[in-house]
Amino acid sequence: MSTTSVMGGIVRRKEDPALIQGKGMFVDDIKRSRELAVAFVRSPFAAATITSVDASAALELAGVHAVYTADDVRDLGLNPAQVAVGTLRPLLADGAVHHVGEAVAMVVADDRYVAQDAADLVYVEYEPGDVVIDLKEAFADTHQVHDGVSNTLLTWHGHAWWEGVVDLPDPSPGIQEAKERDDTVVVSLEMVNQRLLPTAIETRAVLADWNSGYGSVELWTSSQIPHAVAGAIGVMFGIPSNKVRVVAPEVGGGFGVKLNVYPDEALVCFASRELGRPVRWTETRREAGFSSTQGRGWIGTATITGTRDGKILGYELDAICDMGAYTQNLTVAVPLLGLFVAPGQYDIPTSYALHCVVTNTPTTDAYRGAGRPEAAYYLDRIIDTYAREIGMDPADVRKVNYWKPDQFPVNTAVGMTMDTGDYEMNLDALLDRVGYEDLKARRDAARAEGRLLGIGLSTYVEVCGFGPSALAGLGFSWAGYGLPAAFNGSGVVRVQADGTCTVTIGTGPSGQGHETTWAQIVADGLGIAMENIEVRHGDSLDSPMGTGTFGSRSIAVDGTATYEATKRVREKAATIAGHLLEAASEDIQFQDGGAHVAGSPDRSVSWAQIAESAYQPHTLPEGVEGGLESSVVFSPPNATWPFGSHMALVEVDPTTGDVDLLEYWATDDCGNVINPMIVDGQLHGGIAQGVAQALFEEAIYDDAGNLLTTSLIDYPLPAAGNLPMFSLDRTVTPTDVNALGVKGIGEAGTIGSAQTIVNAVVDALSHLGVRHIDMPLRPQRVWQAIEDGRK
């Protein structure tokens, strides 16, 4: 396994001792005295007008303090952290509900049990209306989710994805002509990329404490974006953001679900202000199906036009993307993110229409990969289908159409610039390691015995590490709600007076190991031991202005900011050490907990000595200020573009349709790697989630809009025992958009994996006449496909 020139060592995670002993502090571990608890009254209907809310019985119950409805909170306005396209979510349903489980009233009581009892006593009268759940029906617009508003909020096109901002030449020259040529083939598939419940192990949780004496509020929330939450709360309550302290303590998984500012975050602040006591709400697992965002939910047709020798002359994707009833933070941006990578790794003419359509279901938003797994799925499934159609190996078809390394930076047909890439090298690395030819022989031999083995290949490019702050101009800015700019990274490195180091960063991690990775960056730069470096994050007042953790962005952006801050601290420390050692600062080297003069290791000072001098300015050379810290805000010139190649071997039980995932290999390229173990860990989790989409998971709604899969009994998550040991490797193609050469790896595993599995299953069954099976490939579907193929 290759490592990098910077760091690159496997270092055990600093955060794990606390976490595995159960000593990590999550929102539910933080207690305030005199807390009250919230329960929500939720709509049983997917579409209804609210004719009355009667809370009198609830208010009579001992221990109930208040029941609030839209009337009480209307003055706060709408949460500003929602992209202003479509109908935004009100804090509480205002006159009408648009999905099952929408919060209609908030009960505040002595404890959650009483609150829940009282919620059962709030009588809401509804007048149910027609519901639209089916995506195609919603797209047809025969009935509107929001009266008088078309269900199609907007359509993203490849060459004009943000009207008036980006207008590119038609990226699809010649596709129609190519279709009519008689030496071409046209393959087309309609495919569903199903709705998913992101399901972090820690559900969302909030605790607010409004202090009228200080005129400030503290909010603990299980969030990926504490600074954005602080900004939005400030705007809603009309107080400056420096009076809002939002803390995201340990966060038990996010996957995009905690990348929103939610009504409940504002509502507990409101209730705390009104009642003068701390107020808590913890989402139950079942509630998460209503009160948190969901993922995916596309139905689309992918079409490839190409020659019989593998040259793709056109790729078209026309998809309807489910927004749910309301749009929130990145809801309409998710298909756009998909569009950014829709042409994949290929130098091909393209044409897209991604329709953002509302339905009477909870909101969708980013879920690990956010648009990119969908895009990769459609493209890679149809490439596979095309390869089969023309009788060419799917690996070879990809190679014919790849961008070549000397073409980078590549300007893509959708107006993006891809930084660096060497796709064929990466694919070959995978094929060599797997022993592709032998594997195919093994599959064919098994098939001759009547066993159904299948090989699936997928190769992807994704975009992450957002990103240039200029993207904020496109409407996905949090500047609107109190933050200086979007998409920056920030890092503060401070050497304490005792020579230990504190690093504060603007990220909002939920298990990614930032405390370790960032400590490595700083340890490498300063020569301070890992155990003497403390990394802190997630406090909107104490951390630097940050953007949070999502879109595999933290290392490329906040990591680089920290790297730069480290360099500046080192430069200043070299000046101080030079002064103390009577040497030129250029001759100072840092190592093993201190500094020495190059060539004379015995002429040395410890970090404690340097720091002591730094904090006693009279000991410093003329013109040098006291203190030993640096704060850097970094905005990269571009996002980053990781890529990779994945392969799976499956065996299908021909009688039952049961799919056994036998082996899984991945060769990913995320540029330089700081901690290979953490990178592998991200891939493990990501691949597990992609495999789970392919085989197990689906959020299913009935025609009335009831989520049928609210419990984990009905929504099967992958368990370790359902998966083989993944075999991982990497190639290293550093990016040139940041000094670390790092690209980001949080979502790559998910982006590369679902189609790998489906390609493998279809490969196993193709000789039986099976062309495609929609996910999840539960045994029944696979069995049905085999049956249908036999007919």
Structural contact between residues 259 and 548, judged by C-beta atoms closer than 8 angstroms: yes
Nearer to other proteins, 247 or 279 (CB): 279
Q: How would you list the strands of the sheet with 103-109, edge to edge?
A: 64-68, 103-109, 36-42, 279-282, 205-211, 216-221, 244-247
Q: How far is the CB of 392 from other proteins (least distance, A)?
A: 31
Size of the site for other proteins (CB under 8 A): 32
Judged by CB under 8 A, the stretch of 180-188, 235-243, 337-345, 651-659 that binds other proteins is 651-659
Structural contact between residues 667 and 731, judged by C-beta atoms closer than 8 angstroms: yes
Given 711, 724, 767, 769, the residue binding other proteins (CB under 8 A): 711
Site for other proteins in 287-326 (CB under 8 A): 287
Nearer to other proteins, 304 or 659 (CB): 659
Q: How far is the CB of 634 from other proteins (least distance, A)?
A: 42
Phi, psi of 736 (to 5 degrees): -110, 15
Tokens coding 279? 């107020």
Give the side-chain half-sphere CA count within 13 A for 152: 14
Nearer to other proteins, 38 or 577 (CB): 38
- Tell me how far apart the alpha carbons of residues 725 and 474 are, in angstroms, rounded to a whole number: 42
Our measurement of the distance from residue 11's CA atom to the centroid of its chain's CA atoms, rounded to an integer in Å, reads 24
- Tell me how far apart the alpha carbons of residues 184 and 181 are, in angstroms, rounded to a whole number: 6
Residue (of 57, 76, 62, 65) closest to 39 by Cα position: 65
Given 26, 126, 615, 783, the residue binding other proteins (CB under 8 A): 783
Q: How far is the CB of 121 from other proteins (least distance, A)?
A: 12
Q: How far is the CB of 720 from other proteins (least distance, A)?
A: 10
Given 124, 228, 461, 695, the residue binding other proteins (CB under 8 A): 695
Name the strand (E) or helix (H) holding 691: helix 676-695
Is the link from the previous residue into 409 a cis peptide, with omega within 30 of 0? yes
**194 torsion bin: left (phi>0), alpha (psi -120 to 50), beta (else):** beta
Q: Is 700 in the site for other proteins (CB under 8 A)?
A: yes
Nearer to other proteins, 722 or 766 (CB): 722
Q: How far is the CB of 284 from other proteins (least distance, A)?
A: 4
Given 190, 708, 724, 767, the residue binding other proteins (CB under 8 A): 708
Site for other proteins in 11-50 (CB under 8 A): 39
Nearer to other proteins, 385 or 709 (CB): 709
Structural contact between residues 449 and 417, judged by C-beta atoms closer than 8 angstroms: no
Site for other proteins in 337-366 (CB under 8 A): none
- Tell me how far apart the alpha carbons of residues 450 and 460 are, in angstroms, rounded to a whole number: 32
Tokens coding 772? 């495609």
Q: How far is the CB of 741 from other proteins (least distance, A)?
A: 40
Rg of the chain over CA atoms, in angstroms? 27
Judged by CB under 8 A, the stretch of 192-200, 213-221, 283-291, 669-677 that binds other proteins is 283-291
Q: Is 656 in the site for other proteins (CB under 8 A)?
A: yes
Structural contact between residues 599 and 569, judged by C-beta atoms closer than 8 angstroms: no
Phi, psi of 631 (to 5 degrees): -125, 125
Given 12, 20, 719, 724, the residue binding other proteins (CB under 8 A): 719
For 142, residues 6+ apart whose C-beta sits below 8 A from its C-beta are none
Q: How far is the CB of 290 from other proteins (least distance, A)?
A: 13
Nearer to other proteins, 209 or 287 (CB): 287
Query: Which runs of consecutive H residues, i.e. helices, occur in 169-276?
Result: 175-180, 226-237, 263-275
Judged by CB under 8 A, the stretch of 165-173, 502-510, 713-721, 747-755 that binds other proteins is 713-721
Q: How far is the CB of 780 from other proteins (least distance, A)?
A: 5
Tokens coding 82? 């929602």
Given 660, 662, 724, 788, the residue binding other proteins (CB under 8 A): 660
Tokens coding 304? 């490839």
Judged by CB under 8 A, the stretch of 147-155, 192-200, 282-290, 626-634 that binds other proteins is 282-290
Q: How far is the CB of 727 from other proteins (least distance, A)?
A: 20
Judged by CB under 8 A, the stretch of 306-314, 556-564, 665-673, 780-788 that binds other proteins is 780-788
Q: Is 600 in the site for other proteins (CB under 8 A)?
A: no
Given 714, 767, 769, 788, the residue binding other proteins (CB under 8 A): 714
- Tell me how far apart the alpha carbons of residues 783 and 567 are, in angstroms, rounded to a whole number: 60
**Whole-number Cα distances in Å, 550 to 471, 540, 595, 740:** 15, 17, 37, 19
**107-136 mask for other proteins (x: CB under 8 A)?**
-----xx--xx-------------------
Given 284, 407, 600, 616, the residue binding other proteins (CB under 8 A): 284
For 392, residues 6+ apart whose C-beta sits below 8 A from its C-beta are 309, 310
Q: Is 696 in the site for other proteins (CB under 8 A)?
A: yes
Query: Which runs of consecutive H residues, i.e. helices, occur in 696-778?
Result: 748-765
Site for other proteins in 438-457 (CB under 8 A): none
Judged by CB under 8 A, the stretch of 143-151, 456-464, 576-584, 706-714 that binds other proteins is 706-714
Query: Which residue has 């802190």 as its token pair?
Result: 536
Query: Which runs of consecutive H residues, i.e. helices, occur in 165-322?
Result: 175-180, 226-237, 263-275, 288-291
Given 12, 23, 285, 767, the residue binding other proteins (CB under 8 A): 285
Judged by CB under 8 A, the stretch of 55-63, 265-273, 709-717, 755-763 that binds other proteins is 709-717
Coil, strand, or helix at residue 508? coil
Name the strand (E) or helix (H) holding 219: strand 216-221
Site for other proteins in 73-112 (CB under 8 A): 112
Name the strand (E) or helix (H) holding 108: strand 103-109
Q: Is 411 in the site for other proteins (CB under 8 A)?
A: no
Residues making contact with other proteins (CB under 8 A): 39, 112-113, 116-117, 284-287, 655-656, 658-660, 695-696, 700, 708-709, 711, 713-714, 716, 718-719, 721-722, 778-780, 783-784
